[in-house]
Chain A
Amino acid sequence: MAHIHHYDAVIVGAGGAGLMAALESGKRVRTAVVSKLYPTRSHTGAAQGGMCAALANVEDDSWEWHAFDTVKGSDFLADQDAVDVMCKEAVDSVLQLERMGLPFNRTPEGKIDQRRFGGHTRNHGEAPVKRACYAADRTGHMILQTLYQQCNKFGVEFYNEFFVLDLIMGDDVCSGIIAYEIATGELHVFHAKSVLFATGGYGKMFKITSNAHTLTGDGPGVVYRKGLPLEDMEFFQFHPTGLYRLGILLSEAARGEGAILRNADGERFMERYAPTIKDLAPRDMVSRAEFFEIKEGRGAGPDKDYILLDLTDVDPEVVETKLPDITEFARTYLGVDPLKEGVPIVPTAHYAMGGIPTNVDAEVLRDHTGAIVPGFYAAGECACVSVHGANRLGTNSLLDIVVFGRRGGVAMAEYASTNPLPDIPDDVHVHTEEWLRSLTEGESEESPHEIHTILQDEMMDKASVLRTEESLLDVLETIGKLRERYGRARVKDRSKVFNTELVEHIELGYLIDMAEALVVSARARTESRGGHYREDHQLREDDHWLKHSFISKAATGETVLNYKDVTLGRYEPVERKY
Chain B
Amino acid sequence: MDVQLSVLKYNPETDKEPHFEDFTVEADPMERLLDCLHKIKWQHDSGLALRRSCAHGICGSDAMVINGVNMLACKVLVKDLKQPIRVEPIRGLPVLRDLIVDMEPFFAGYLAVKPWLITDDRQHDPERERIQSPEERERFDDTTKCILCAACTTSCPIFWADKEYVGPAAIVNAHRFIFDSRDDGGAERLEILSSRSGVFKCRTAFNCTAACPRGIKVTQAIQEVKRAALFDSL
List 18 A–B pairs whose Cβ atoms lie within 8 Å, in order of A's numbering.
A37-B59, A40-B148, A43-B53, A45-B54, A99-B121, A106-B136, A108-B134, A109-B131, A110-B133, A138-B145, A152-B115, A153-B114, A248-B56, A491-B46, A492-B47, A495-B97, A499-B47, A500-B50
Among B24-44, those with CB < 8 Å from A are 30, 32, 41-43
Is A40 touching B59 in the complex (CB atoms < 8 A)?
Answer: yes
Residues of A within 8 A of B132 (CB): 106, 110
Residues of A within 8 A of B115 (CB): 149, 152
Asked if B61 is an interface residue, CB under 8 A from chain A, the answer is: yes
Q: How many residues of A contact B (CB 8 A)?
A: 58
The 10 A-B pairs of least Cβ separation, nearest first, read A101-B117, A110-B131, A493-B47, A149-B116, A449-B42, A153-B116, A212-B53, A41-B59, A498-B49, A498-B97
| A254–B150 alpha-carbon span in the complex (Å) | 30
Residues of A within 8 A of B60 (CB): 40-41
Asked if A501 is an interface residue, CB under 8 A from chain B, the answer is: yes
Is B47 touching A43 in the complex (CB atoms < 8 A)?
Answer: no
- Most A-side CB within 10 Å, residue of B13, B55, B58: B58
Residues of B within 8 A of A268 (CB): none
Is B54 touching A46 in the complex (CB atoms < 8 A)?
Answer: yes
Residues of A within 8 A of B195 (CB): none
Asked if B3 is an interface residue, CB under 8 A from chain A, the answer is: no
- Most A-side CB within 10 Å, residue of B107, B117, B140: B117
Is A45 touching B116 in the complex (CB atoms < 8 A)?
Answer: no
Residues of B within 8 A of A43 (CB): 53-54, 59
| A111–B77 alpha-carbon span in the complex (Å) | 40
**Interface stretch (choices B122-130, B155-163, B203-211, B225-233):** B122-130
Is B58 touching A500 in the complex (CB atoms < 8 A)?
Answer: no
Among A152-208, those with CB < 8 Å from B are 152-153, 183
**A73 to chain B: closest CB distance in Å?**
26
**B162 to chain A: closest CB distance in Å?**
24
The one of B53, B58, B137 that contacts A141, using a Cβ cutoff of 8 Å: B58
| A333–B56 alpha-carbon span in the complex (Å) | 9
A-B contact count (CB 8 A): 151
| A248–B47 alpha-carbon span in the complex (Å) | 27
The one of A45, A112, A135 that contacts B129, using a Cβ cutoff of 8 Å: A112
Asked if B182 is an interface residue, CB under 8 A from chain A, the answer is: yes
Residues of A within 8 A of B134 (CB): 105-108, 110
Closest Cβ neighbor of B115 among chain A residues: A149
Residues of B within 8 A of A107 (CB): 134
Residues of A within 8 A of B234 (CB): none
Is B56 touching A41 in the complex (CB atoms < 8 A)?
Answer: no
**A490 to chain B: closest CB distance in Å?**
10
Residues of A within 8 A of B77 (CB): 332-333
| A358–B101 alpha-carbon span in the complex (Å) | 38
Mark contacts of A340-383 with chain B using CB atoms, 8 A cut-off: 1 yes-contact digit, 0 otherwise. Answer: 00000000000000000000000000000000000000000000
**A366 to chain B: closest CB distance in Å?**
32
The one of B12, B55, B114 that contacts A213, using a Cβ cutoff of 8 Å: B55
Task: Check A135/B54 contact, CB under 8 A, given A106-B134, A212-B59.
Answer: no
- Most B-side CB within 10 Å, residue of A110, A153, A493: A110
Q: Which bracket fits the contact residues of B?
A: 35 or more
Asked if B103 is an interface residue, CB under 8 A from chain A, the answer is: yes
Task: Check A501/B30 contact, CB under 8 A, given A110-B131, A153-B116, A212-B54.
Answer: no
**A268 to chain B: closest CB distance in Å?**
28
Residues of B within 8 A of A135 (CB): 144
**A45 to chain B: closest CB distance in Å?**
6
Residues of A within 8 A of B (CB): 37-38, 40-43, 45-46, 94-95, 98-101, 103-112, 135-136, 138, 141-142, 145, 149-150, 152-153, 183, 212-214, 246, 248, 325, 329, 332-335, 447, 449, 491-493, 495-501
- Most A-side CB within 10 Å, residue of B56, B114, B183: B56
Closest Cβ neighbor of B52 among chain A residues: A213
Asked if B75 is an interface residue, CB under 8 A from chain A, the answer is: yes
**A43 to chain B: closest CB distance in Å?**
6
Residues of B within 8 A of A109 (CB): 131
| A150–B121 alpha-carbon span in the complex (Å) | 14
**A90 to chain B: closest CB distance in Å?**
14
**B8 to chain A: closest CB distance in Å?**
15
Residues of B within 8 A of A493 (CB): 46-47
Is A141 touching B54 in the complex (CB atoms < 8 A)?
Answer: no
Among B72-96, those with CB < 8 Å from A are 75, 77, 96
Is B130 touching A498 in the complex (CB atoms < 8 A)?
Answer: no
Is B116 touching A95 in the complex (CB atoms < 8 A)?
Answer: no
| A333–B12 alpha-carbon span in the complex (Å) | 35
Residues of B within 8 A of A106 (CB): 132-134, 136-137
| A106–B129 alpha-carbon span in the complex (Å) | 11
Closest Cβ neighbor of A491 among chain B residues: B46
Is B47 touching A495 in the complex (CB atoms < 8 A)?
Answer: yes
Is A38 touching B103 in the complex (CB atoms < 8 A)?
Answer: yes
| A386–B146 alpha-carbon span in the complex (Å) | 34
Is A141 touching B131 in the complex (CB atoms < 8 A)?
Answer: no
| A183–B100 alpha-carbon span in the complex (Å) | 10
Task: Check A37/B61 contact, CB under 8 A, given A100-B117, A112-B129, A495-B13.
Answer: yes
The one of A40, A41, A99, A149 that contacts B126, using a Cβ cutoff of 8 Å: A99
Closest Cβ neighbor of A109 among chain B residues: B131
Asked if B191 is an interface residue, CB under 8 A from chain A, the answer is: no
Is A149 touching B117 in the complex (CB atoms < 8 A)?
Answer: yes
Asked if B111 is an interface residue, CB under 8 A from chain A, the answer is: yes
Is A332 touching B75 in the complex (CB atoms < 8 A)?
Answer: yes
Task: Check A495/B11 contact, CB under 8 A, given A99-B121, A183-B96, A449-B42.
Answer: yes
The one of B61, B111, B129, B136 that contacts A98, using a Cβ cutoff of 8 Å: B129
Is A335 touching B121 in the complex (CB atoms < 8 A)?
Answer: no
Closest Cβ neighbor of B76 among chain A residues: A332
| A9–B127 alpha-carbon span in the complex (Å) | 30
Residues of B within 8 A of A335 (CB): 30
Is A496 touching B96 in the complex (CB atoms < 8 A)?
Answer: no
Is B47 touching A213 in the complex (CB atoms < 8 A)?
Answer: no
| A228–B41 alpha-carbon span in the complex (Å) | 34
Task: Check A98/B43 contact, CB under 8 A, given A335-B30, A498-B97, A500-B49.
Answer: no
Is B116 touching A150 in the complex (CB atoms < 8 A)?
Answer: yes
Is A141 touching B47 in the complex (CB atoms < 8 A)?
Answer: no
Is B61 touching A41 in the complex (CB atoms < 8 A)?
Answer: yes
| A145–B117 alpha-carbon span in the complex (Å) | 11
Residues of B within 8 A of A37 (CB): 53, 59, 61
- Most B-side CB within 10 Å, residue of A107, A135, A141: A141
| A329–B127 alpha-carbon span in the complex (Å) | 38
Residues of B within 8 A of A108 (CB): 133-134
| A43–B180 alpha-carbon span in the complex (Å) | 26
Is B124 touching A99 in the complex (CB atoms < 8 A)?
Answer: yes
Residues of B within 8 A of A332 (CB): 57, 75, 77
Given contacts A101-B117, A136-B141, 4 further A-B contacts (CB under 8 A): A101-B177, A107-B134, A212-B54, A334-B30
The one of B43, B98, B116, B183 that contacts A152, using a Cβ cutoff of 8 Å: B116
